[in-house]
Chains A and B, each alone.
Chain A
Amino acid sequence: MRKVTTIFWPVLAGIVFLLLWQLQVFHFLLHIQIRQLPLPSAMIETLIDNWQTLLLYSMYTLAEATLGMLIGSAIGFLLAVIATVFPKWGYGGLIFVTALNAVPIIALAPIMNLWFGDGLGSRAAVVTITTMAAMALNAYRGLNDLKPYALDLMKSYAANESVVFRCLRLPNCLPNVITALKINTTASMIGAIVSEFFYSSRGLGYMLSNSVKIAKMSMGWACIILSAILGILLYSIVRLIEKHAIKWHVSQRI
């Protein structure tokens, strides 16, 4: 019974919202024109009319985001492992990656463009940098925040460091890694799209900023809708992995 209401109310609210939009209630309240804020029907129309280009661009942007996310997560994880295995000196790597995370995407884009040229590579590089920190910090916490006495138990079995790592730290950090992946899916889409604002000639971000520049708002919104869908897709994939990888975890119990 609860499940029905959990779905019913949000869906109802969503439908009401879309209806109000289509009937231009928001336009009236906020004094804006249709050309500034297109109607949902116009957006859908644009989506359908241009589906081929949009699909192609979506794949392009998705590729940048996924590639960057995978590489960034891998590097982040590696840094966390180094910081765990060499506690005293490895910590610097974490500080470095945190500081790097503070550099706004917008500044990264031109720099990466210089280094990697105009292609997919430079955008993937931006995404890599933006996804490193979340994974590094979360993985580090997962590798090192062990339950009390867990290490003592291992010691009582005279386990050496690599066994401890394999049998205790790695499984323990899985939930944290999944959390970081969830954070990174949204971050990678944002990174890919924003870096496409500059210097790109393909992709959803490029299409977005271009359309807005020539006042083709419906197209811009179509891009936003598509990128949201892609984001949800990536997130759902991570959720699927989560269900299988950490069946045992508290968060997976009802």
Chain B
Amino acid sequence: MKKGRVVVILVWAILFVVLWESVSWSLIHLFHDPMADSKLPYLHKVIAALFSQGNVLLRESFVTLLNSAFGFVLGAVVGILLAILMSASRTIEEISFPYLILSQMIPVLGLAPIVYGIVHDEIASRIIISGYITFFPVSINMLGSLKSVEKEKRELLYAYATKPISVYTKLFLPASLPGLFSGLKIAAPLSVTAAILVELMGAQHGIGVLILRNLYYGPAQSSAFWASVLVSALLGILSFELIVLAERICLPWKASLAHEGGDGK
């Protein structure tokens, strides 16, 4: 990261901290708000709670991450298969596309209570909802990549009388990877959110449960509540960065594209 950028981020971070602490302070001393501690507890208190509750937070985060990972993988596999099918057959694409879009009009997270009502199993419903929220961005983005393969790349293989299955393994699949990872990057934080939502509806473990518990303990535990909220946000960011890392490993040729200069157009 360039030196200038680091300075800017540092300044913003400091401003942010100062702003937070002053708002918390004014809530208590200027507005005499009885709920001040719940509305915006002091940042340092939240950080303190973060450390004191460290173990619990870590353990529950891991549970949430694991659960959302299962759903994520499931959804990704379904999304990939769907994208391949849709790219291979016009009819399948025409049938599926409207319903794909429709599936996103249904508030996915709104389905959560219903799925839970049917399945009554916290692990299964977490996986189902996470999977549901994942497959759309994955299939749409991967389909986009598949459809934008240049005609000449296909003609090259046609000129060599390549078998259809080889056309897929040598051209379409590698070419679809950038789109696939775009979709995975979008889906990862979403699937974490989905897992947490299901946890809030009655589960035994996970960061969502922790958030709920801290919430119900009332104002005394508000720093702990905020700390757990912070952790849940970090989980979302973490899942995103994990995919970015995976992308860098799987697509060594793509990351470099970002640095194209000179002859690149």
Contact = CB atoms under 8 A, between A and B. Distances in A.
A pairs with B: yes
Interface of A: 5-6, 9-10, 13-14, 32, 36-37, 88-89, 91-92, 95-96, 99, 102-107, 110-111, 114-115, 186, 189-190, 193-194, 197, 205, 208-209, 212-213, 215, 217, 220-221, 223-224, 227-228, 231-232, 235
B232 A104 contact: yes
A103 B232 contact: yes
A102 B233 contact: yes
B8 A37 contact: no
A104 B68 CA distance: 14
Contacts, number: 128
A189 B228 CA distance: 26
Given A102-B236, A106-B196, A231 B114 contact: no
Contact of B107 (A6, A32, A114, A227): A227
Given A103-B233, A104-B196, 13 more contacts: A6-B94, A10-B95, A10-B97, A89-B12, A95-B9, A103-B232, A103-B236, A106-B197, A107-B233, A110-B215, A208-B110, A220-B117, A228-B102
Contacts of B12: 89, 92, 95-96
B262 interface: no
A111 B229 contact: yes
B4 interface: yes
B153 interface: no
A92 B11 contact: yes
Nearest to B104: A186
Contacts of B39: 111, 114-115
Nearest to A196: B110
A106 B110 contact: no
B139 interface: no
9 contacts: A10-B97, A36-B117, A37-B118, A95-B9, A104-B197, A107-B211, A205-B110, A213-B113, A232-B105
Contact of A10 (B99, B106, B107, B211): B99
B164 interface: no
Contacts of A213: 113
Interface string B188-226: 010011001100100000001001000100000000010
Contacts of A104: 192-193, 196-197, 232-233, 236
A106 B118 contact: no
Contacts of A6: 94
